[in-house]
Amino acid sequence: MNAEQIDQVRRFNRTVTERVGVLHDNYLGRDRPVGEARLLWEIGEREQDVRGLRERLGLDSGYVSRLLRALEADGLVTVEPHPRDRRVRTVRLTGAGRAERGLLDERSDRLAGSLLKPLNTAQRARLVAAMAEVDRLLTASTVALATVDPGHPDAEYCLCSYFTELQERFDTGFDPARSLLPDAGGLRPPRGLFLVARVHGEPVGCAGLKLPPGAPAEIKRMWVAPAARGLGLGRRFLAELEELAAGEGRTVLRLDTNKALDAAIGLYRSCGFQEVPAFNDEPYAHHWFEKRIGRDA
């Protein structure tokens, strides 16, 4: 990125904050700032875990607590310990809170309409399409990768979702017990590692790196949730795993894949992987790839 790009991002931020009214303490004409209004909207119709809300919005616990105290003082929410774990706080809207949220929804619709009304039909289509693209790219910038134990609940969720998808997509179905890596524990240090991608604290993808002694590194169990596809996460996983493998002194990175995963095959080729003869007996593989990495690349 360069100075011109930074200036454009800042100019965009100033335009948006001014146009949507977040500079005022009374957001949408109500007697509350945008932080409180957004929290009401996020709580919605169901009881919510306060920690989950905080992670979803990327806010620190002290600020969320202050927002909740203000909403509670106005009779809009109730905050209580979870009945099965008093260390966990939950929040739900009161009747007054639901009415306030409904009013905020109506005014938000009117604000959105006021942005579109001065434009002609073609301009409206351009603006909405541009907003969708900005939303997609900003979401991509919030994805966080972390190394976790394969037994972590988020890792298990991703692997279960991955296996379910393969079962549906493969002509033969998919039984993880028949695969060459039946136990994800093979992706624990020092034999490997496992990455999980999260958006607002929610797992949306995973990828493993196998590090067998005296052999090339190998990518295993890479999956991206359907809702997170198109964010460049697969490419980001590959780049991260390549860097990690090179950091372990490996000069070759391998992977195998099934013929049904045509989008993945295209991704591997575009990232510099070359198809090679089979290097293992993986029963679900039809294609094998390698890439030179590190200083030997």
Closest residue by Cα to residue 205 from 253, 254, 155: 155
Q: Which residues have a Cβ under 8 Å from the Cβ of 135 and sit 6 or more positions away?
A: none
pLDDT at position 87 is 78
pLDDT mean across residues, the chain: 90
Q: Stretch 153-174: mean pLDDT, rounded?
A: 95
Whether residue 297 has pLDDT greater than 70: no
36-48 pLDDT, tens digit each:
888 898 898 888 8
- Pairing label, strands 217-224, 252-257: parallel
Task: CATH 3.40.630.30 in the chain: give the residue spans.
Answer: 143-292
pLDDT at position 296 is 60
Task: CATH 1.10.10.10 in the chain: give the residue spans.
Answer: 3-118
User: Cβ distance 47 to 90 under 8 Å?
Assistant: yes
Distance CA 220, CA 209 (A): 6
Domain at 143-292: CATH code? 3.40.630.30
Distance CA 190, CA 210 (A): 9
Task: Report the chain's C-alpha Rg in angstroms.
Answer: 24
Whether residue 178 has pLDDT greater than 80: yes
Second-level CATH architecture of 3-118: Orthogonal Bundle (1.10)
pTM here is 0.79
pLDDT at position 185 is 82
Alpha carbon distances (Å) from 158 to 198, 206, 283: 11, 6, 22
Whether residue 247 has pLDDT greater than 90: yes
Q: How confident is the model at residue 9 (pLDDT cuts 50, 70, 90)?
A: confident
